[in-house]
């Protein structure tokens, strides 16, 4: 009888440990919102995030491949393919990095440095160019409680001529379902753009997530709403 009790005790510890691991290691993505999160994926792991963006005369497949170099550093490859008005094919290939700087400490937010560079030569003829446009941003996040969090980005692009801002309020409905509302904008000499979006994320299991979002411009030259739907998977 003692052996049975011991086995039951060991089994309960095993289940508890696995439950804790599953909670800690649930997939965390940088889609479908427009902000970059502070999270970096674990070392030596891959994560695939794929979605389709649909707007008027536009259908683009957005693929991001993420790899964890260290527990706080990751690199990403972005491949977008589709049709935008009369242009179609592969958009400029982009490389990105994320470097986690600090974790949240009371009211001090978690902070992560994020960078992007696009290679216009690595694109189909309709999207090809000779420049290397880049963007640098800081990502911040404050967890208010178990249900609410606030994420916000401050960045620059167009050779430091444009200022890019975003702020998102996230809400965990239940453990596997969360939602968000977000404001994102670009401030530029050529005209400012202001937009809002909202979406839902569903974690099917700790490695697999599906999502959907809708964005509506408030003001700007590109007054075109869009929607996106996607799926993400963590290879670990």
| CATH number of the domain to which 212 belongs | 2.40.160.40
Could you give the dihedral angle defined by the CA atoms of residues 37, 39, 40 and 42, in that order, rounded to the nearest 10 degrees? -150
CA angle 6-12-17, nearest 5°?
125
Q: Which whole-number Å values give the CA distances from 159 to 26, 42, 140, 208, 235, in the listed order?
A: 37, 32, 22, 37, 35
User: How confident is the model over 54-86, as pLDDT tens digits?
Assistant: 999 999 999 999 999 999 999 999 999 999 999
Model confidence band, residue 25 (pLDDT cutoffs 50, 70, 90) = confident
Q: Say if residue 32 is preceded by a cis peptide, omega within 30 of 0.
A: yes
Identify the pLDDT of residue 24: 54
Tally of domains in the chain: 1
User: How confident is the model over 109-122, as pLDDT tens digits?
Assistant: 999 999 999 999 99
Positive or negative: CA dihedral 186, 168, 66, 44: positive
Per-residue burial over 177-195, b if 16 or more Cβ lie within 10 Å, else e, is ebebebbbbbebeeeebeb
Expressed as residue numbers, the domain containing 56 is 2-235
Contacts of residue 1, Cβ cutoff 8 Å, sequence gap at least 6: none
């Amino acid at each position: 009888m003692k052996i049975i009790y011991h086995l039951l005790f060991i089994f309960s510890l095993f289940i508890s440990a696995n439950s804790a691991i599953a909670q800690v290691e649930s997939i965390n993505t940088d889609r479908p919102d427009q902000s970059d999160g502070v999270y970096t994926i674990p070392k030596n792991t891959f994560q695939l995030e794929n979605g389709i963006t649909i707007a008027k005369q536009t259908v683009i497949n957005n693929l991001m491949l993420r790899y964890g170099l260290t527990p706080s550093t990751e690199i990403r490859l972005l491949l977008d393919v589709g049709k935008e008005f009369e242009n179609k094919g592969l958009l400029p290939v982009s490389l990105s990095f994320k470097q986690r700087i600090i974790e949240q400490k009371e009211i001090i937010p978690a902070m992560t440095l994020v960078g992007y560079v696009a290679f216009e030569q690595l694109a189909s003829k309709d999207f090809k160019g000779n420049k290397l446009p880049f963007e640098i941003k800081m990502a911040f996040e404050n967890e208010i409680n178990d249900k609410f969090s606030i994420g916000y980005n401050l960045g620059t692009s167009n050779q430091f001529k444009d200022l890019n801002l975003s702020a998102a309020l996230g809400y965990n409905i239940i453990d596997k379902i969360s939602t968000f509302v977000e404001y994102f904008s670009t401030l530029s000499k050529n005209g400012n753009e202001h937009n809002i979006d909202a979406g839902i994320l569903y974690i099917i299991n700790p490695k697999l997530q599906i999502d959907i979002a809708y964005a509506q411009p408030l003001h700007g030259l590109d007054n075109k709403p869009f929607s996106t739907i996607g799926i993400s998977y963590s290879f670990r």
